[in-house]
Structure formats: structure tokens, C-alpha cells
Amino acid sequence: MKKIPEFKTEPEERVFWEENDSSDYLDWSKAEQAVFSSLKPTTKAISLRLPESMLAQIKVEANKRDVPYQSLMKIWLSEHLTPIRLNGTGQ
């Protein structure tokens, strides 16, 4: 295993890991899964144009479930996305 260099700044470290394969520096067979239950995922506001009739239907469905319509839309989107596996290969 190669020795991980000491970094002066976070951006310097970010560039290093973007350009180097971590398996040269870490034995991933000894890695343990970590759970960060207190972290909130980073979110980004987007603008999405929908037909008014579609938005009205979404709001009706959200009201039936007693959830905000934007939350319901996020739920529906997450149900239809393939989860990203975090095994280092992207598969």
C-alpha cells in the first residue's frame, strides 16, 4: 500500500482523490460499513415546469396522503430510481 500524503487543504485532498485510485492506498477488504444517521442529504432547489392539470392532480394525491406535494413528488421519484451501489465500481 502507498502512503496517503498529508494535505494542507480540503481542495488539495479532493484533487488528489479525484486523480488517484483509492485502492492503491487503502485495503478495502478490511473496510466496515458506516452509518451516519444524523446527516441530512444535500438538496438542491430546481425549477420544474408542469402542466397545471398535472400539478393539480399531484396536489390532490398529496392531500389524500397528508403530505406536502413536493415531498410526494420526491417519494415518487425515489421509488422509480435505481439505487446507486457504493461498492467502488459503480455497479
- Is residue 58 within 8 A of residue 71, CB to CB? The reply is no
> How many independent structural domains does the chain possess?
2
Max distance between CA atoms of the chain, in angstroms, equals 59
Map grid coordinates 446527516 to a residue: 39
How do residues 35-90 score in pLDDT, each as one tens digit? 887 888 788 899 999 999 999 999 999 999 999 999 999 999 988 887 665 555 54
Say yes or no: 24 and 50 in one domain.
no
Answer yes or no: is 39 within a domain: no
* Position 91 pLDDT exceeds 50: no
* Structural domain boundaries, residue 70: 46-82
Q: Does some domain include residue 87? A: no
**Is 70 domain-assigned?**
yes
